[in-house]
Structure 1
Amino acid sequence: MIRLLSVLVFLFSASLAEAQDLQPRRWSHLPLDRNFVGALYGYTSADIFFNPSLRLENVELDMHTAGISFVHSFEVFGKSARFDMMQSYQDGRWKGLLDGASASTSRTGFSDTTLRLSMNLVGAPPLSGKEFADYRATKRDCETIVGAGVVVVLPTGHYLKDRLLNLGSNRFTIRPQLGVIHSRGRWSYELTGSLWCYTDNNSFFNGNTLEQDPLVSLQGHVVYTFRPGFWIATGLAYGMGGQSTINGVESNDNKNNFLWGTSLGFSVSRQLGFQLTYISTKTLERSGFDSDTILFGASLMW
């Protein structure tokens, strides 16, 4: 039983939400004391690959996601900072062949809550109003911003202890980040490194204990701004590590994922903006998953 769980555990530990972290402009300079509320819809289609000895074939996932987000910009220790919160509700269906016979299952409910706290260490001073506008006007030709942050994923999502597939993870994920943006004229170049650290899940599938090694990821983006509020970005990311252990037995399921994506953002007013994103995930291992995701979001600032 432990051997079987060890092979299947990547379905739980390498969730689509984690694998699809490819977000441009996360270190952008924001005016002080502003709030942003967003809503998004996403659709994900994935092909899941198992070891042939498990007799699981042609496994597919269709996932619909609706989410809300909140961002607040503020000053701390004389630096500009921001707080992000994200919550989504998901409807997913897995289907495929088990021993040659059709099988399927579905889950509907809330995913885990994501919180992020970040600070710009170099550049992007805490400004608002006319001071912010004047500063941005002087930095359009050349600017470098360095930021640090931490993401915490709370175990608030829908979780069933007697099921292997879940929307929630039943554990905390802590992800420190370090990022840099260098802008020249209309072009911006972004690089972000992250370390995913996981607490243990002591209620994993019928009382087993799941542990997971840290996962390292690196992503980069190139952004072109046509005018303020209208931009396009393309990005690449790579993640490796994150081997799982169940009751002390290693799963030999190291993650080795490559992602690429593109985003288009545009504003219709100073307060209202929209963003369209496509993300593709490819596994470089024999077991894992390939996925395609389309996201559409809107945000309101005040």
Structure 2
Amino acid sequence: MHINSRSRLGALALALGSTKAMAVDVNAGDYTALPAGTNIAAWYQQYSHSDRFNADGGADSTRQTSLKSNISILRLIHFMDIGGITVDPQILLPFGHVYDARIGGQSLGSASGMADPIVGATFWLVNQPSAGVSGRYFGITPLLYLPWGSYDRHDAVNLGENRFKGDLQLGWVEPLWGRFSMELYGDAVVYGHNDDAGSGRQTLKQDPTYQLQGNLRYDFNPTQRVALGYSASTGGKQYLDGDYTGQKTEVQQVRLEFQQMVGQRVQLSAQLTHDVRTVGGFQEDAGINLRALLVF
């Protein structure tokens, strides 16, 4: 892939952020409604490595191409009852390091610091914890990304996106047979404008992204489960001053997750991810997502 100049990729930071964090990805059991008054503090540690870049309409770049990230997220959740409906207001605070970003041997630099915080809440319209091994749940989760992360238009790689984003997520959990259950999630993400993109205070706009996520889950017992997951997203074309950049959010990914309770209040989770297809961005070769969750 031929790159004309560093400024040619001035908006790449947004491609990195929106492609790898299009929506709030779910872990198995995330749509379990806990009793009102329960609090959760969760720590996520996410590592990913990419060695392939695709610009929409062009050939893949694999020679001297890479992107690595090491991201931490602190997530705080409180469960409460509003008019007989369980609601969990929450905040996610991501930060970390993106490094070794290269396309065709051209270095794009690195970035570290805070990413954009996320606030939101799930509203459970169906809450049947006694149904099957998993319970039966249906929830609606509006999420808002706040443009407070680290951002510099002169850098090709940023953790912040300098724009608001809204994500409406729907989640459905349904027992199947025995210890198996199904989890289905749908997201629609809309993007505000970044009026300080590129090398000359250009405006970056982006089409909505649509994502479907699913888990086939097996609970060995109340403290131990495994889930095989799949995610597919589409849309998200980016335009810089009206010109299509070749970046969008078309990604298909497979996932494998294991969760284990330690005592009554701590859950540990490990998830492996791999992109099987990416158009218009970096393709993740391998991702490792670790989570420690405290219930109090």
What TM-score range do you get, normalising by the shorter chain?
A: 0.7 to 0.9
Equivalent residues of 2:153, 2:197 under 8 A apart: yes
Residue 183 of structure 1 is aligned with which of 170, 175, 184?
Answer: 175
Q: CA deviation at 1:89?
A: 1.9
User: Relative to structure 1, is the Cα distance of residues 25 and 276 closer, same or farther in structure 2, using a 3 angstrom cutoff?
Assistant: same
Equivalent residues of 1:239, 1:256 under 8 A apart: yes
- Written as runs of structure 1 = structure 2, the 5 A alignment for 1:123-138 is 123-124=127-128, 136=129, 138=130
Equivalent residues of 1:13, 1:244 under 8 A apart: no
Q: CA deviation at 1:44?
A: 1.0
| Alpha-carbon distance between aligned partners in 2 of 1:266 and 1:214, rounded to the nearest angstrom | 36
Alpha-carbon RMSD: 2.8
- Count of aligned pairs between the two proteins: 287
Q: Is 1:81 aligned to 2:87, yes or no?
A: yes
Larger radius of gyration: 1
Q: Is 1:171 aligned to 2:171, yes or no?
A: no
Residue 18 of structure 2 is aligned with which of 11, 14, 22?
Answer: 14
Q: Secondary structure at 1:14's aligned position in 2?
A: helix
Residue 43 of structure 2 is aligned with which of 27, 39, 43?
Answer: 39
Equivalent residue letter for 2:111: R
| Alpha-carbon distance between aligned partners in 1 of 2:134 and 2:76, rounded to the nearest angstrom | 30
Q: CA deviation at 1:29?
A: 2.4
Equivalent residues of 1:283, 1:289 under 8 A apart: no
- Written as runs of structure 1 = structure 2, the 5 A alignment for 1:1-302 is 4-5=8-9, 11-12=15-16, 14-18=18-22, 21-50=25-54, 57-96=63-102, 103=107, 105-124=109-128, 136=129, 138-140=130-132, 143-184=135-176, 185-206=178-199, 207-285=201-279, 287-291=280-284, 292-302=286-296
User: Relative to structure 1, is the Cα distance of residues 104 and 177 closer, same or farther in structure 2, using a 3 angstrom cutoff?
Assistant: closer
| 1:51-106 Cα deviation digits (max 9, x unpaired) | 579999421012112221111111122111212221122112134465xx663521
Q: CA deviation at 1:143?
A: 4.9
Equivalent residues of 1:22, 1:261 under 8 A apart: no
Equivalent residue letter for 1:33: G
| Alpha-carbon distance between aligned partners in 2 of 1:277 and 1:288, rounded to the nearest angstrom | 22
Q: CA deviation at 1:25?
A: 2.1
Q: CA deviation at 1:14?
A: 3.1
| Alpha-carbon distance between aligned partners in 1 of 2:156 and 2:217, rounded to the nearest angstrom | 39
Q: CA deviation at 1:11?
A: 3.1
User: Relative to structure 1, is the Cα distance of residues 11 and 44 closer, same or farther in structure 2, using a 3 angstrom cutoff?
Assistant: same
Which stretch of the first structure deviates more once superposed, 237-246 or 289-298?
289-298
Equivalent residue letter for 1:219: Q
Q: Which runs of 5+ in 1 are unaligned?
A: 125-135
Q: CA deviation at 1:7?
A: 9.1
Q: Which runs of 5+ in 2 are unaligned?
A: none
More helix by share: 1
Equivalent residues of 1:258, 1:284 under 8 A apart: yes
| Alpha-carbon distance between aligned partners in 1 of 2:61 and 2:227, rounded to the nearest angstrom | 41
Equivalent residues of 1:22, 1:236 under 8 A apart: no
User: Relative to structure 1, is the Cα distance of residues 8 and 70 closer, same or farther in structure 2, using a 3 angstrom cutoff?
Assistant: closer
Equivalent residues of 1:156, 1:170 under 8 A apart: yes
| Alpha-carbon distance between aligned partners in 2 of 1:202 and 1:43, rounded to the nearest angstrom | 30
| Alpha-carbon distance between aligned partners in 1 of 2:167 and 2:35, rounded to the nearest angstrom | 25
Identity of aligned residues (%): 22
| Alpha-carbon distance between aligned partners in 1 of 2:18 and 2:268, rounded to the nearest angstrom | 29
Which stretch of the first structure deviates more once superposed, 276-285 or 204-213?
276-285
Equivalent residues of 1:12, 1:169 under 8 A apart: no
User: Relative to structure 1, is the Cα distance of residues 5 and 73 closer, same or farther in structure 2, using a 3 angstrom cutoff?
Assistant: same
| Alpha-carbon distance between aligned partners in 1 of 2:86 and 2:168, rounded to the nearest angstrom | 18
Equivalent residue letter for 1:255: T
Equivalent residues of 2:229, 2:255 under 8 A apart: yes
Question: Normalized against structure 1, the TM-score is what?
Answer: 0.85
